[in-house]
A = this chain, B = another copy of it.
Amino acid sequence: MTQRATREMIVATADDLFYRRGFDHTSFADIATAVGISRGNFYHHFKSKDDILEAVIMKRLADRAGMTARWERQAPDPAGRIESFIHLLLVNGEKIREHGCPIGTLTSELAKLAHPAQPDAVRLFTLFREWLAIQFSALGQVEKADQLALELLSRSQGAATLYNAFQDRDFLEREVAAMKFWLRDVATTEAAHSTPQ
């Protein structure tokens, strides 16, 4: 395996372990064992768990940027793109039921640990916040774009937390339907308001 492939395997394994078990609960040794390479080779790539965390956050940022780019290709209209974001709750439903939202649970955990990488993890929320704001702007909601983006992020976080707690699929589907209803309302409201301008 190339050095680059080895590094990517370490980061992907850590990403998965941090998500499923939590960052603090996953040790440096757990990751090395799960990857199954020699300790020397492992240390060549990462000297500490915090180094791996930074790489995991960068990987998650790249993954989510790829996700939003895909949504843009799949839907030409901003409402359709925002709907793709909402549907993420259903697409990742099984994982969310078991482990919560990978972004929300990481930022919460790092806040409790007062970990210096917490602001970097928040950039994962910021990525979606800014992307959603662009879509709401394109929907005509220029002034409220950032507020609407935060409101939707917040709602989707709440749904993920309670789905993880209660494991009630009907609840999750109702929340997704309510967010889509809200989205249509936001889009229509603007259409009505923008006419006289």
Listed in ascending order, the chain A residues whose CB lies under 8 Å from chain B are: 20-22, 24-25, 98-100, 104-105, 107-109, 111-113, 122, 125, 147, 150-151, 153-159, 161-162, 164-166, 168, 171, 174-175, 178
Contacts and interface: CB of A to CB of B under 8 A. Distances in A.
A16 to B, nearest CB: 12
A151 B165 contact: no
Contacts of A112: 20-22, 25, 99-100, 105
Q: Oligomeric state, in number of copies?
A: 2
Query: Is the contact region of chain A dominated by helix, strand, or loop, or is it mixed?
Result: helix
Contact of A24 (B25, B147, B178): B25
A108 B111 contact: no
Contact of A113 (B25, B159, B168): B25
A161 B20 contact: no
A153 B171 CA distance: 12
A159 B165 contact: no
A194 to B, nearest CB: 22
A108 B22 CA distance: 10
A77 to B, nearest CB: 25
A175 B153 CA distance: 12
A3 B98 CA distance: 39
A108 B107 contact: no
A162 B105 contact: no
Contact of A156 (B150, B156, B158, B178): B158
A168 to B, nearest CB: 8
